[in-house]
C-alpha cells in the first residue's frame, strides 16, 4: 500500500475516525475497552481500500491531541503503514476529530477522487450527502448495525457500506456480534 498518487490515477481518500471506531467496538460490540489484539488491523483497512477500486489511496487517520500529548508508538505504527496521522487540538468542548473530518470531506468535494470513511457518525451526514454527486464513489467502513440511521438512508443515493469485520477483514479473531445475517452469507461453522 502506498500513499503516493500518480497524476493520471483517480485517488481514493481514506478518512479514519479512530475514536468512533474504537468507541463503537468497545461499547457496542465488546462491552469493554478493546485490548490491542481486539482492535482493527489498520494495515488491513488500507489494503482493502487499495484493492477495492484499484486506485492509489491517501490514508488519513484523525487523532485528538487536545491534551498536548500524542500516542507516539501508535503514530509511528500508523506512519509505518503509510497513513498520514492528523493530530488535532482544540478546546475541551470541541469535537476536533469530527471537525477535521468534516472539513476534509468538504475539501474533497472540490477535487477529483473517491472517498472511504471509517466511522458510524451522523455528524458527517451533510458532507457525505454532498459527495454523492453521481461523479464519485463514496463508501462507509463500519459495523453496519451501528451506523447512524440517516447515513443508512443514503444507500439509495449510492453510499456503499463495507463491514469492517466481514467485508474488510480488519480483525484477527471473530467478534461477538449479534446482527442480521443475509442467508446467503450465513456460515453455520462460525456458530458450532
Q: What is the model's pLDDT at position 192? A: 86
Q: What is the model's pLDDT at position 6? A: 43
Q: What is the model's pLDDT at position 174? A: 87
Cα gap 165→175, rounded to integer Å: 8
Cα gap 171→158, rounded to integer Å: 26
Which pLDDT tens digits describe the chain residue by residue (192 residues)? Answer: 445 444 458 999 999 999 999 999 999 999 999 998 899 999 999 999 999 999 999 999 999 999 998 889 999 999 999 999 999 999 999 999 999 999 999 999 999 999 999 999 999 999 999 999 999 999 999 999 999 999 999 999 999 999 999 999 999 988 988 877 888 888 898 788
In contact, 26 and 126? CB cutoff 8 Å: no
Structural domains in the chain, sorted by start: 12-190 (3.40.50.1010)
Q: What is the model's pLDDT at position 8? A: 53
Q: What is the model's pLDDT at position 142? A: 97
The H-or-E segment that residue 99 falls in is helix 96-108
SS3 category, 131: helix
Amino acid at each position: 500500500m502506498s500513499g503516493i498518487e500518480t497524476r493520471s490515477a483517480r485517488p481514493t481518500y481514506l478518512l479514519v475516525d479512530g475514536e468512533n471506531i474504537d468507541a463503537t467496538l468497545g461499547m457496542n460490540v465488546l462491552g469493554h475497552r478493546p485490548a490491542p489484539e481486539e482492535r482493527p488491523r489498520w494495515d488491513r483497512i488500507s489494503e482493502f481500500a487499495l484493492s477495492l477500486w484499484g486506485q492509489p489511496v491517501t490514508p488519513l487517520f484523525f487523532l485528538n491531541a487536545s491534551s498536548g500529548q500524542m500516542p507516539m508508538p501508535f503514530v509511528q505504527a500508523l506512519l509505518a503503514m503509510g497513513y498520514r496521522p492528523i493530530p488535532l487540538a482544540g478546546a475541551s468542548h470541541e469535537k476536533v476529530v469530527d471537525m477535521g473530518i468534516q472539513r476534509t470531506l468538504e475539501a474533497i468535494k472540490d477535487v477529483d477522487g473517491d472517498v472511504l470513511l471509517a466511522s458510524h457518525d451522523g455528524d458527517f451526514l451533510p458532507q457525505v450527502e454532498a459527495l454523492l454527486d453521481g461523479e464519485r464513489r463514496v463508501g462507509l467502513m463500519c459495523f453496519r448495525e451501528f451506523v447512524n440511521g440517516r447515513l443508512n438512508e443514503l444507500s439509495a443515493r449510492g453510499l456503499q457500506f463495507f463491514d469492517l469485520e466481514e467485508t474488510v477483514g480488519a480483525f484477527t479473531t471473530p467478534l461477538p456480534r449479534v446482527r442480521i445475517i443475509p442467508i446467503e452469507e450465513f456460515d453455520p461453522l462460525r456458530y458450532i
